[in-house]
Each structure stands twice: as structure tokens, then as C-alpha cells.
Amino acid sequence: MKKVMSIVSLLCGISPVFILFIWRMDFMRRPPTNYIVLGLFGIAIIVGFIMAVYLFGKKHLRDLTTKLALVFNSFFLVVVAIIGG
């Protein structure tokens, strides 16, 4: 179960990269849609970060997937904090 959680947290950490591919599409230019999509990516970042911190705190220090998830999620949280703040 812990391995599945580490993979899910890694996927949540990598998912914000996909915003680069859909940012220029027509549906992203409409105001309610772009806020919803950005909010969902924000939720994915937060959930992935919480799961990665939980797994890291449970002594999964050797698990490379957990480490990568923690790095990616931390990076995206910092980027969101800088851009949003």
C-alpha cells in the first residue's frame, strides 16, 4: 500500500507539468474553465505533497519514488507560492 501511495504522490507531483501542454488551448481562455483547471492542479500539488511528507515521515527514506515525489511537490509548491504571492 505504501508503494502505491508513493507512486500516486509522484504522479501528483508530475501532473502540473501538463499545464504547459494545455495552456494555449481555446478552452483555457475562458474565465471559469481556466480557474477550475488551475485549481485542480493546485489540489493535486497539495495532495501529492501531503502524501509524500506522510510517507517520508514514516521512515521511507530509501524509497526513491517518495524522495522524487517530495522534491517535485516541494518545487511546485514553491513556484505556486512565488507566483501567487
DSSP 56-67: HHTT-TT-HHHH
Q: Contact, 41 vs 23, CB < 8 A?
A: no
Q: Could you report the per-residue pLDDT of 56-65, keeping only the tens digit for each?
A: 777 666 678 7
- Distance from C-alpha of 9 to C-alpha of 72, rounded to nearest angstrom: 9
What amino acid occupies position 13? G
- pLDDT, average across residues 34-50: 81
CA 41, CA 55: separation in Å to the nearest integer? Answer: 21
Count of helices and strands (H, E) across the chain: 4, 0
pLDDT at 20: 72
Q: What is the pLDDT of residue 21?
A: 77
